[in-house]
Amino acid sequence: MSFLGLSSRSPFALNAGAAAGVFQVTLGLIGVFRPQVMLQDIWGFKTSTKPGQDQLVIESLMQLYGMRNVALGLMILAVRTFADSRTLAWVLMSDMLVAIGDGFIQKKATGGGEWKHWSFVPVGVGMGMLLLGYFD
């Protein structure tokens, strides 16, 4: 069987992939509806308390980030529902590029906190390998 031909038949693996999608949708909704919570508590940014144009731009960008996560999470759930485990595996593993990028951006902007994002990389790759059938 070729490298790309492996596939898991485990319902646990498929449901774990769906859980990753639900997690991303949840983070995205926090970003959309509670941008200050996402900025301060999750990303660790210190934001200004006085309202102004800069604050509006920052909150708007956080809401864009939230919508990105909602879209990625819904994509994962759609792949879980309508495709096979190989497709879900590669979607989850490619989604780890987002976590890597977010980690570098947070490190640059706040001086730390990159492991809040990078800690998901081995989990995503592991779930991808599980879905590809490497642990069957």
Tell me the pLDDT tens digit for each residue of 62-104.
Answer: 899 999 999 999 999 999 999 888 999 999 999 999 999 999 9
Quick check: 2 pLDDT over 50? no
d(CA 125, CA 136): 16
Whole-number Cα distances in Å, 5 to 15, 17, 130, 134: 20, 19, 13, 11
What average pLDDT does range 119-136 have in this prediction?
90
Residue-level pLDDT at 1 = 41
Q: Does residue 113 sit within a domain?
A: yes
Helix/strand number for the chain, H first, E second: 6, 0
The crossing angle, in degrees rounded to 10, of helices 85-110 and 11-33 is: 40
Q: Which residue has the higher pLDDT, 115 or 4?
A: 115
Q: Does residue 114 sit within a domain?
A: yes
CB 6 within 8 A of CB 134: yes
pTM score: 0.81
Q: Does residue 4 sit within a domain?
A: no
Range of the domain at 71: 10-131
Residue-level pLDDT at 52 = 74
The tally of domains found in the chain comes to 1
Q: Does residue 123 sit within a domain?
A: yes
